[in-house]
């Protein structure tokens, strides 16, 4: 939850997440106009897949608990396995990014900033 400030004596907070949008609290995810307070993310570096990556996933979205209601077990498991294969590609891309020289050039400010 992001209804507080991540102030540290020094350094950054690394926040890997499924989505680029950050909600202040769990219930706020249903309220797209709600976001963290300005300044709360000043020392946060978020890792999130791009919209293009998400579009390649089965159904064009990140799997979630609703899949248990809408998919058979076999279909759901196959889709989730496919997502895991894509996630391996994402991990390899992160390794390349961390080993390369252009990490700072690839960073972007939060949309709310």
Full residue range of the structural domain in which residue 73 is found: 49-113
Per-residue pLDDT, 113: 46
Dist. CA 7–CA 4, nearest whole Å: 9
User: 75 and 55, same structural domain?
Assistant: yes
Claim to verify: residue 42 and residue 83 sit in the same structural domain? no
Number of domains, the chain: 2
Residue that finishes a domain, picked among 48, 72, 87? 48
**Which pLDDT score, from 0 to 100, does residue 83 have?**
94
Q: Would you state the pLDDT for residue 96? A: 92
Residues 40 and 28 in one domain: yes
**Residue 95: per-residue pLDDT:** 93
Question: pTM of the entire structure?
Answer: 0.71
Residue that finishes a domain, picked among 31, 48, 65: 48
Do 84 and 110 share a structural domain? yes
Average pLDDT over every residue of 92-109 = 88
- Examine the domain organization and report whether 76 and 22 are in the same domain: no
Q: CA-to-CA distance for 93 and 80, rounded, in angstroms?
A: 20
At 35, list the tokens. 């976001």
At 12-54, the pLDDT tens digits run 888 888 877 777 666 666 676 777 766 777 788 888 898 999 9
- Residue 7, pLDDT score: 66
């Amino acid at each position: 939850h992001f209804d507080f400030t991540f102030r540290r004596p020094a350094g950054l907070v690394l926040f890997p997440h499924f989505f680029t949008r950050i909600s202040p609290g769990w219930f706020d995810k249903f309220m797209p106009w709600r976001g963290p307070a300005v300044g709360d993310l000043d020392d946060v570096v978020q890792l999130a897949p791009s919209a293009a990556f998400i579009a390649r996933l089965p159904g064009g979205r990140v799997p979630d608990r609703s899949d248990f209601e809408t998919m058979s077990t076999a279909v759901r498991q196959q889709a989730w396995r496919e997502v895991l294969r894509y996630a391996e590609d994402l991990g390899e891309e992160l390794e390349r990014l961390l080993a390369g020289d252009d990490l700072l050039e690839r960073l972007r400010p939060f949309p709310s900033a």
